[in-house]
Structure 1
Amino acid sequence: MPGPAADGRQVPFRNAKEEIRARIEVSGGGGDPQRLGGRGQRQIVVWRNVVLMSLLHLGAVYSLALIPKAKLLTLLWAYFCFLLSALGVTAGAHRLWSHRSYKAKLPLRIFLAVANSMAFQNDIFEWSRDHRVHHKYSETDADPHNARRGFFFSHIGWLFVRKHPDVIEKGRKLDLTDLLADPVVRFQRKYYKITVVLMCFVIPTLVPWCAWEESLWNSYFLASILRYTISLNISWLVNSAAHMYGNRPYDKHISPRQNPLVTLGAIGEGFHNYHHTFPFDYSASEFGLNFNPTTWFIDLMCWLGLATDRKRATKPMIKARKARTGDGST
């Protein structure tokens, strides 16, 4: 569930236009767009990220023209890499390390850390720290991708500017000893750059080239660049679309929504109103295995003896919360 607002009260969710209008009024109508970052803070653009993300997306657009020329195995391999990297985020950094919603034995933690490096969305420690801040201070200046600042900011714009000081301040106050106590997290953080180069770019490119003689050009742009760009944007939709579009059957007082399209793309992460209401639930959904490949994976790992202690919200708990704070939808 979201934490308290910056002033100690729960601030109702507003759309981007309302938020900009409110901040202009508070600042006296100065009109400086760089000061719309909250409390009059001037936003410092990280031009390196702007350039790199622009080049990455241009490369992805070019990659689309290569699809008809590629071998079917290459396209299937790219999709497999997408699923693998997605699990590194959803089952790994998110449900395991951020929320501790289940326990994983060492072989599974190593696998998820490797998959997380393929995802290239910051190392497990940093991802989990920022996600815990996001939950505790959701939709405030301490939220790294505060949806109250609009779709673009919550989707990708938050990567184009320096973090708001509140994000850094609140992040430093969190108890992260559980993350630092995990040797897998420490190892991945120490060697993150090396593992990212290997898992996100080198291995996805070399496998099609070596195994079924795909061209190195097609392998790189399809299995690395296009796959990586798509996986990033689908993950970002959880921060943007799933905080703006959909119903709120569990808590109508918070912005996260149930978004079926995000659920399909993000292998089970679009039940966002439920997740913010019951963040400890390993399934991140009331519906268990339905439309939730990440839950399938965790259940399979439990069946294999590699995962244990799955946490769940009980049916009476869910029913009572729906009746008390839900919007009446299902």
Structure 2
Amino acid sequence: MSGKVDIKPGSSISEILRGFEKQLGFKNEIKWSTAIPIVLYHVLAVYWCYHYAFPVKWQTLLFETNTISAIVIYFNYFKLMFCYILPTTLGIWLWGEQWRCAVAWQCFIRFLGMFHSELTVNSLAHAYGYRPYNKNIIPRENRFVATCTLGEGWHNYHHAFPFDYKAAEHFDAFNFCTTFINGFKWLGWAYDLREATPQMINGLANRLGDGTPLHYPLAEQTDD
């Protein structure tokens, strides 16, 4: 937290916001055009869920945990359809969920849960964890983040070997992202997938790692 920032009389809104950011200790400028709608969305979510999230049908809870947002070239259109409209309306049509309750669980609880889980990759996984592959970079291995994000928390490995499609050295039961890609590989729709070899992983870890044991260490070669 930095010291108090003096704001001169007659300062523009932009200057006031910059001074507020410095007072909070932020290193980068906040994109207020994005931050304000996000804050308002959270406020609306708290109000709506407080009043309408319960009672809820069990089908809505099950559906809420298994709906994935589409990330494709037409992101905004598919996000609107697959993240909001379909999850909400299917619950209303198929098992008679109240529309206010469906909105609470699909548009707020599910979406914001996923939203904040993804944010942990560049927050918690940059602050807590270990760095077995490269101790000179900020990203870390964090199992909690990996679980929340379905496999995206092995962040030190990802930055050490950014070309590796698995984004992790080892198999992880929660790494649904890699499992999803492997499924398309089996179908022949995903190909030319690159991976780091054990020799590359062990070599980098021995040179730059923090000493944390690897999942698949290679035996050191010794001369007879």
TM-score, scaled to structure 1: 0.54
Structure 1 residues 24-56: Cα deviation after superposition (integer angstroms, max 9, x where no partner): xxxxxxxx5545665xx8x4652x433322232
Specify the SS of the correspondent of 1:249: coil
Determine if the alignment matches structure 1 residue 243 to structure 2 residue 120: no
Determine if the alignment matches structure 1 residue 317 to structure 2 residue 205: no
Q: Tell me what 1:70 maps to.
A: 56
Contact persistence 2:60–2:97 (CA under 8 A) = yes
AA of the residue aligned to 1:198: M
Which structure has greater helix proportion?
Answer: 1
How much has 1:301 moved relative to structure 2? 1.5
How much has 1:236 moved relative to structure 2? 0.5
Specify the SS of the correspondent of 2:138: coil
Contact persistence 1:268–1:293 (CA under 8 A) = yes
State the distance in 1 between where 2:168 and 2:129 align.
Answer: 15
AA of the residue aligned to 1:261: F
AA of the residue aligned to 2:59: L
Cα distance change of structure 1 residues 201 and 290 upon mapping to structure 2, 3 Å threshold:
closer
AA of the residue aligned to 2:123: S
Structure scoring higher RCO (CA < 8 A, sep ≥ 6) equals 1
Cα distance change of structure 1 residues 295 and 196 upon mapping to structure 2, 3 Å threshold:
closer
How much has 1:289 moved relative to structure 2? 4.3
| Equivalent of residue 105 in structure 2, options 213, 218, 222 | 222
How much has 1:74 moved relative to structure 2? 0.6
Unaligned ranges ≥5, structure 2: 4-18, 214-224
Contact persistence 2:139–2:156 (CA under 8 A) = yes
Q: Tell me what 1:283 maps to.
A: 166
Q: Tell me what 1:58 maps to.
A: 43
Contact persistence 1:289–1:296 (CA under 8 A) = no
Q: Tell me what 2:153 maps to.
A: 270
How much has 1:60 moved relative to structure 2? 3.7
Contact persistence 1:59–1:221 (CA under 8 A) = no
Structure 1 residues 143-184: Cα deviation after superposition (integer angstroms, max 9, x where no partner): xxxxxxxxxxxxxxxxxxxxxxxxxxxxxxxxxxxxxxxxxx
Task: After TM superposition, list the pairs within 5 Å mapping 1:284-303 onto structure 2.
Answer: 284-303=167-186
Contact persistence 1:261–1:270 (CA under 8 A) = yes
* Count, aligned residues: 196
How much has 1:268 moved relative to structure 2? 0.3
Task: After TM superposition, list the pairs within 5 Å mapping 1:174-253 onto structure 2.
Answer: 185=73, 188=74, 192-253=75-136
AA of the residue aligned to 1:70: V
Cα distance change of structure 1 residues 274 and 203 upon mapping to structure 2, 3 Å threshold:
same
- Larger Rg over CA atoms: 2
How much has 1:66 moved relative to structure 2? 4.9
Specify the SS of the correspondent of 1:226: helix
Contact persistence 2:141–2:153 (CA under 8 A) = yes
State the distance in 1 between where 2:207 and 2:94 align.
Answer: 57
AA of the residue aligned to 2:65: Y
Cα distance change of structure 1 residues 271 and 210 upon mapping to structure 2, 3 Å threshold:
same
How much has 1:303 moved relative to structure 2? 1.4
Specify the SS of the correspondent of 1:268: coil
State the distance in 2 between where 1:287 and 1:65 align.
Answer: 44
Specify the SS of the correspondent of 1:80: coil
Contact persistence 2:151–2:172 (CA under 8 A) = no
Name whichever of 254-263 and 68-77 sits farther off.
68-77
Q: Tell me what 1:307 maps to.
A: 190
Structure 1 residues 213-260: Cα deviation after superposition (integer angstroms, max 9, x where no partner): 101111111012111111110000001100110000000000100000
State the distance in 2 between where 1:213 and 1:318 align.
Answer: 52
